[in-house]
Structure 1
Amino acid sequence: MMRRFLEVDVFSSGRLTGNPLAVVADADELTTEQMQRLAAWTNFSETTYLLAPTDPEADYRIRIFTPRQEYPFAGHPTIGSARAWLELGGVPRTPGRLIQECAAGLVPVRLEEDRLAFATPPRTRTGPLPDDDVARMATMLAIDPAEIVAHAWGVNGPEWRLVQLRDADAVRALRPSADRAGLHIGVVGLEAPGGECAYEVRGFGPTYEDPVTGSLNGALAQWLRERGEVPESYVVAQGSQIGRRGRVHVHDDGEHVWIGGDTIVVVDGRLAM
């Protein structure tokens, strides 16, 4: 069967500057095994599948796969899948507002002009990291533990361990070890006031650096807002050390922390599967 297959550049600041996402349409008849095999073949950080919703409130449903496993929720797949669904002719029940169904539940997505944003789901684990985890993070990041200003769990799908350094320059200077023992580490450093971006982020998976990460920035925004480190609205930079120029737009409306970004459909084709 031929299915539409899109590749979307997510959290971009121009073509080929963000995080790519593969999206497969009309995927209801695919098995979990087929979905996982294709995600391993594309080798993107995530591949998503558009499905008919099972919840009457949802506009559409997605499943999210990394090359190795399925996630209940992830950020850049949420925004990229919403863009693909709209590109394929999807019409939301409420103009300007989409409801996405995924394994984590219903996720509101809003469309403001041409920018999409999702409401960050609650973290399922918070609080400071254990001392032995902090020591491991320092070793993996090749820094002295004293350079870590603050740390916390930020689990909202991926199991992010959040680490704050003294400033954005310290984040950009990181040269972590290649093997991170299967962990997901999010590192943040604040920029000096007055610039385009409030802070610099780097997201390290077990063996790779993620170009731009929605789930990580959602957890970081909730954590930094709780501590009064950032304003209600700001922009985040990510990907600068791996040749990207990702931009994440954050807004806290008092009820939800919205994680938004620009998206570009780069590939629109057909998948024989």
Structure 2
Amino acid sequence: MRAGRKYFIYDVFTQRPLDGNPLAVVIDSEGLDTAAMQAIAREFNLSETAFVLPPKNPTHKACVRIFTPDYEMPFAGHPTVGTAIALSEMAEGNDLAGIFVLEENIGLVRCAIDKLNNGLFAEFDVPQLPEQLPLSADPEAIGAALGLGPHEIGFENHRVSLWSAGVPYIAVPVADLKAAAKVKLNNDAWVEFSPRKSEFAVASAYVYGRETVDHTSSFHARMIVPGNPSYEDPATGSAAAAFAGAIMRFDQPTDGSHRFWIEQGIEMGRPSRIRLEIDVAGGKLAAARIGGHAVRVAEGVLLA
């Protein structure tokens, strides 16, 4: 491995350092093979690390590969937002705004950068619209695996459902903030019924409710990744993309564009804000976009 590869650490879906979801972005990753990228991601030990490579199509901005400490992801939201802002900040001529395409394993991801609230804001088109997948597990069993009783599962007409926009999540609606706060995943119980998303891991839990801490938020959310140990993610763009399917299914928004702010990470002390926009046409989801801020908190050089 060639030494001297620059990296940045960003906190994503926030404008405040040490809030949001941390991300490592390795610049100039050309020459790294999959095993080396996996080892570097394991070294950073963040939920995800993004590796920037030359694009296959020279009209695109970059190719981006995304790794957790254990496996490669086809797509993820906070690495897309953080990498887009990192590349924009590095642009020649300090051109901080613009539209470009990133090549990810899931396909082409169109990103737009703009200035919003005295900071850079990145938004990307969801490359794969959410699809509802079959879920045979009993909702009460799912709730029990999260430490919730039957009376704490569901609100209005929202019910437990499984969605994927490239990465699958079991979306679990909860009655209120109190129920959301008590969630604790029992990994052994969860893996018994959760469909596998890869050879390494099962689908994660996306707990959401209409009651929020911030009055400007539309939904309150938590995302728990199963494993030994399981862990919580402070902001999850791919889950918000999948959640667009649940919004369409249960809220049935009218034709037109709709914007939702999702708060996440509050229970773990890393508050985050994710903007989800959806376009509805003919009663069906036509497009979705995920957006958020990111702030650089560290940088360095890989010497290994």
Task: Provide the TM-score with structure 1 as the length reference.
Answer: 0.90
Shift of 1:170: 2.2
> Is 2:122 aligned against 1:122?
no
Opposite residue 288 of structure 2, the aligned amino acid is: V
Residues 93-132 of structure 1: matches in 2 within 5 Å? 96-113=98-115, 114-123=120-129, 125-127=131-133, 129-132=135-138
CA pair 257-90 structure 1, distance change in 2 beyond 3 A:
farther
Residues 73-112 of structure 1: matches in 2 within 5 Å? 73-89=75-91, 96-112=98-114
Separation (CA, whole Å) in 2 of partners of 1:105 and 1:204 = 26
Report the count of equivalent residues: 272
- 1:238 aligns with one of 264, 269, 292: 264
Separation (CA, whole Å) in 1 of partners of 2:31 and 2:213 = 51
Separation (CA, whole Å) in 1 of partners of 2:21 and 2:244 = 19
Query: 1:142 aligns to what?
Result: 147
- 1:48 aligns with one of 45, 50, 61: 50
Query: 2:248 aligns to what?
Result: 225
Separation (CA, whole Å) in 2 of partners of 1:106 and 1:5 = 23
Separation (CA, whole Å) in 2 of partners of 1:75 and 1:116 = 11
Q: In structure 1, the residue corresponding to 2:28 is in which secondary structure? A: coil
Separation (CA, whole Å) in 2 of partners of 1:128 and 1:49 = 33
Residues 60-75 of structure 1: matches in 2 within 5 Å? 60-75=62-77
Shift of 1:57: 4.5
Shift of 1:263: 0.4
Whether the 8 Å CA contact 1:116–1:262 is kept in 2: the answer is yes
Opposite residue 185 of structure 1, the aligned amino acid is: A
Residues 7-22 of structure 1: matches in 2 within 5 Å? 7-22=9-24
Query: 1:153 aligns to what?
Result: 162
Separation (CA, whole Å) in 1 of partners of 2:268 and 2:213 = 24
Q: In structure 1, the residue corresponding to 2:175 is in which secondary structure? A: coil
Say what the alpha-carbon RMSD is for the aligned residues: 2.6
Shift of 1:218: 1.3
Opposite residue 128 of structure 2, the aligned amino acid is: P
- 2:277 aligns with one of 251, 263, 273: 251
Query: 1:212 aligns to what?
Result: 235
Structure 1 stretch displaced more, 58-67 or 217-226: 217-226
Instruction: Structure 1: give runs of 5+ residues left out of the alignment.
Output: none
Shift of 1:171: 1.5
Shift of 1:32: 0.6
CA pair 97-229 structure 1, distance change in 2 beyond 3 A:
same
The 4+ residue runs of structure 1 with deviation greater than 6 A are 90-93
CA pair 140-123 structure 1, distance change in 2 beyond 3 A:
farther
Shift of 1:138: 1.7
Q: Percent identity?
A: 32
Query: 2:194 aligns to what?
Result: none
CA pair 200-88 structure 1, distance change in 2 beyond 3 A:
same
What do residues 44-85 of structure 1 show as CA deviations (whole Å, max 9, x unaligned)?
Answer: 000110001113442111000001100110111111111121
Opposite residue 66 of structure 2, the aligned amino acid is: I
What do residues 123-166 of structure 1 show as CA deviations (whole Å, max 9, x unaligned)?
Answer: 4641452134x344222201124533212222233321111122
Q: In structure 2, the residue corresponding to 1:5 is in which secondary structure? A: strand
Structure 1 stretch displaced more, 248-257 or 35-44: 248-257
CA pair 266-92 structure 1, distance change in 2 beyond 3 A:
closer
